Amino acid sequence: MPIYTFKRISDGALLSKRLTFTEYDEVKSGKSSLVDDQGNTLEIVFNPGAVGFVLKDGVSGGWMSKANKESKFRRERGAVMAQKEKDHVFKSRLVPNYQGQEAHSWADVQDHVRSTKGVASASTYAPLVAKERST
């Protein structure tokens, strides 16, 4: 039930009280009036500072528990899918070639270029040879 702020008409004092939505609708429409413990009439005051709500975990969980469950599921599923990809997906590799002729490795291409074009041209293949050796 929401908490509303009321003003006592007799002295202007402010007080808070819980009302159900149906009680609030009846008061706003004029079907019923509110009185405090001493019998003084009350009127509803607009108080935007008193607006508030609480999200609680229910039977199925609350906002945070559902988000945490989803994050945990996604982490675990990501690990499973990464392993499946590693096991079952074909990984193509770059096939070394020089002037349209396939070679066994980039080192072979580098040796051929060294013998035909010189050391300077062969040095351009150094990163590919280093990468090939690291894997």
**pLDDT tens, position by position, 60-85:** 666 677 788 889 999 999 999 999 99
The per-residue pLDDT for 84 is 95
In a domain, 73, yes or no: no
DSSP codes joined into one string, 45-57? E--GGG-------
Residue with tokens 């040796």: 111
The per-residue pLDDT for 78 is 96
The predicted-structure confidence for 100-127, as pLDDT tens digits, reads as follows: 888 888 999 999 999 999 999 999 999 9
Is this structure's pTM higher than 0.75? no
| Residue-range definition of the domain harbouring residue 108 | 97-134
64: left (phi over 0), alpha (psi -120 to 50) or beta: alpha
In a domain, 77, yes or no: no
Least confident of 24-33, 50-59, 90-99: 50-59
The count of structural domains within the chain is 2
d(CA 27, CA 18): 13
Which of the listed residues 50, 66, 86 is the one where a domain comes to its end?
Answer: 50
**Residue 74 has which token pair?**
């996604």
> Is 119 within 8 Å of 87 (Cβ atoms)?
no
